[in-house]
Amino acid sequence: MSDPSTFMLNSITDMQLTADGQYLLIHGNQPTAAIHRSVLNDLLVALPNAIEHADRVIHNNQDMGFALHCQGWEVGRLNGMEMVVIRFRLSGSAGLSFSLPAEQIPYLQQALSGAAGAAGAAGLRSHDATLQ
């Protein structure tokens, strides 16, 4: 697994952007890692997938899933576009946004209604689930 160009990072003490916004610097138990902004989207996709896959391997459970904890959310349109933006506020005040065509909203409402109905059938109190 390890070769001369690979280092193992198993703790992160701090992260910051360079002044020009080009690199994310990750400080930890190894020399600082600098990740160029052009690969941050790829990293955003890779990390949840890696977390889920690692959990499946460690727990020997191929059905195990992964979800980020969300502290809040908002829905809106971006600059009057025909796209709807759903933004989730994660722990540490990080935000993660998704956009989808407005014509998909009825299907999203159906899915959320189904999930809320299932939550109600499971005996959750009404204040445990909020839909807008």
**What does the pLDDT look like over 83-130, one tens digit per residue?**
889 999 988 778 888 888 988 988 988 888 888 877 665 555 545 544
Q: Whole-model pTM above 0.75?
A: no
pLDDT confidence band for 27 (50 / 70 / 90): very high
Residue 57 has pLDDT above 60, yes or no: yes
Say what the pLDDT of residue 125 is. 52
Once rounded to an integer, what is the mean pLDDT over residues 35-60?
A: 91
Q: What's the CA gap between 31 and 9, in Å, rounded?
A: 9
Say what the pLDDT of residue 63 is. 83
Any residues with CB less than 8 A from the CB of 21 and at least 6 apart, and which? 37
Q: What's the CA gap between 123 and 107, in Å, rounded?
A: 25
